Amino acid sequence: MKNYKIALLKGDGIGPEIVTQAVKVLNRAAERFGFTISYDEALLGGSAIDATGVPLPPETIEKCKATDSTLLGAVGGPKWDSLPGNLRPEAGLLGIRGALGLFANLRPAKIFEQLREASPLKAEIIGDNLDIMVVRELTGGIYFGERGRRTVNGAEAAYDTEMYSVPEIERIARVGFRMAEKRDGRLCSVDKANVLESSRLWRATVARIGKEEYPDIKLSHMYVDNCAMQLVRNPKQFDVIVTSNIFGDILSDEASMISGSIGMLASASLSEGKSGLYEPIHGSAPDIAGTGLANPLATILSAAMMLRYSLEEPQAAQAIEDAVSEVLKTARTADISAEGIWQVTCEEMGDMVCGLL
């Protein structure tokens, strides 16, 4: 029987409880589809700071590298907010993205038909089956460029550098084009080429890759300010969006909010190889940790993405996604509760998804 090794980074806040439910679901899927999974836990974020003094212990990187893929809960919380930048939970997140070379962040923003009502947008704006995929560059740009302080005209100043090289743009562009190939064949590249030099190189490079390698994909270019508008005005126009690290951070959060059910949205961060890091897009919600209110579905769907993109178990992935769709008809956690539908705890939700598998 095939055995997969998965690193678990439970993280902080609701992280442990949602990962526990996802593991339960993974085990049930493994049983049903005839494979096994062994898990290796490691520390990241606040819990790592508490135990080791740093948000990303070297051991965590080693463990993740030694497995087929990594499942992450969520990191961060007010407890660690006053630490200096490089010792905060977020630094652990950025560190592991860099250390594992996770340059491609896939953030689907889709509306679950059962949760249509939850969107802040009017029904006619979201239309039917809204499904946008944001492909965000994750190991470059202003997140990883040179930064620091200096003195300008006698005053203190701080700077950060947005930088992209041609190979960095090429590889993320290819991820965007390949994603569009598997979906509706439309890729929108988002930049600020009317102002930024890095965006001008971005635009020219994406255009060239499109012309040379993916002539059948319908490529368009949009300025980031316009994209932020268009996501609200007419989100249906988008299939796949590819963009830089910082623009992707902003636009993918905006796009996910359009779905109105952020507790449902999964994400994948991929490297050149097969392995990746999978996590819900929501945060660690320290205020509800331990109360049973957390929604484990985004983490369960992240586990499904892992089965599809990193473990080559697409059937198991599909079965989990179907079970999640199904369960929404009868049971919901508090964040997506609706009249006439049973409100369940985090653990009960995990059990119900298992039951439907």
Ligand X SMILES: CC(C)[C@H](C(=O)O)[C@@H](O)C(=O)O
Catalytically annotated residues: 143, 192, 225, 249, 253
Q: Which amino acid is at 201?
A: L
Is position 151 annotated in a ligand binding site?
Answer: no
Distance spanning both ends of the chain, measured CA to CA: 20
Rounded distance between C-alpha atoms, residue 91 and residue 304, angstroms: 26
DSSP single-letter state for residue 61: H
**Binding range to ligand X, per CB under 6 A, among 77-85, 87-95, 145-153, 213-221:** 87-95
88 is an annotated ligand-binding site residue: yes
From the list 243, 237, 167, the residue with the least C-alpha distance to 209 is 167
- Is residue 333 part of an annotated ligand binding site? no
- Is 225 annotated as a binding-site member? yes
Length of the chain: 357
The residue type at 87: L
**Both tokens of residue 111?**
């509306």
CB of 13 to ligand X, least distance (A): 13
Q: Which is nearer to ligand X, 93 or 111 (CB)?
A: 93
Query: Based on the number of CB atoms within 10 Å of its own CB, is 108 exposed (0-12), middle (13-18) or buried (19 or more)?
Result: buried
- Which residues sit at the interface with its own copies, rule CB under 8 A? 85, 88, 90, 94, 120-122, 125, 142-143, 145, 147-149, 152-153, 155-167, 192, 194-202, 224-226, 228-233, 246-247, 249-254, 256-258, 262
Give 277's contacts (C-beta < 8 A, 6+ positions apart): 64, 69, 70, 71, 72, 96, 97, 100, 102, 268, 269
List the interface residues with ligand X, window 171-200 (CB under 6 A).
194-195
Q: Which stretch binds ligand X (CB under 6 A): 7-15, 89-97, 175-183, 287-295?
A: 89-97
- 160 touches ligand X by CB under 6 A: no
Nearest to 313 by CA among 8, 28, 18, 10: 28
Reading the block at residue 165, the tokens are 């090289």
- Choose between 201 and 354: whose C-beta lies nearer to ligand X: 201
Sign of CA dihedral 77, 79, 84, 86: negative
Residues in 230-269 that interact with ligand X by CB under 6 A:
249
Question: Among ligand X, its own copies, none, what does residue 177 contact (CB within 5–8 Å per kind)?
Answer: none
**Cβ(105)–Cβ(135) below 8 Å:** yes
Residue 93 interacts with ligand X (CB under 6 A): yes or no:
yes
Exposure string over 186-198, b if 16+ CB within 10 A, otherwise e = ebbbbbbbeebeb
- 158's contact among ligand X, its own copies, none, with CB below 5 to 8 A by partner kind, is its own copies
Residue from 90, 347, 348, 351 that binds ligand X (CB under 6 A)? 90
Q: Which is nearer to its own copies, 164 or 238 (CB)?
A: 164
Name the residue number minimizing CB distance to ligand X. Answer: 90
For its own copies, the closer CB: 261 or 345? 261
For residues 28 and 351, what is the distance between their CA atoms, to the nearest angstrom? 10
249 is in an annotated binding site: yes
Give the total of residues touching ligand X (CB under 6 A). Answer: 7
Least distance to ligand X, CB of residue 226, Å? 8
Distance from C-alpha of 69 to C-alpha of 295, rounded to nearest angstrom: 22
348 annotated to bind ligand: no
Query: What is the contact surface with ligand X in residues (CB under 6 A)?
Result: 90, 93-94, 194-195, 225, 249
Binding residue numbers: 77-90, 97, 107, 136, 225, 249, 253, 283-295
Binding residue numbers for NAD(+): 77-90, 283-295
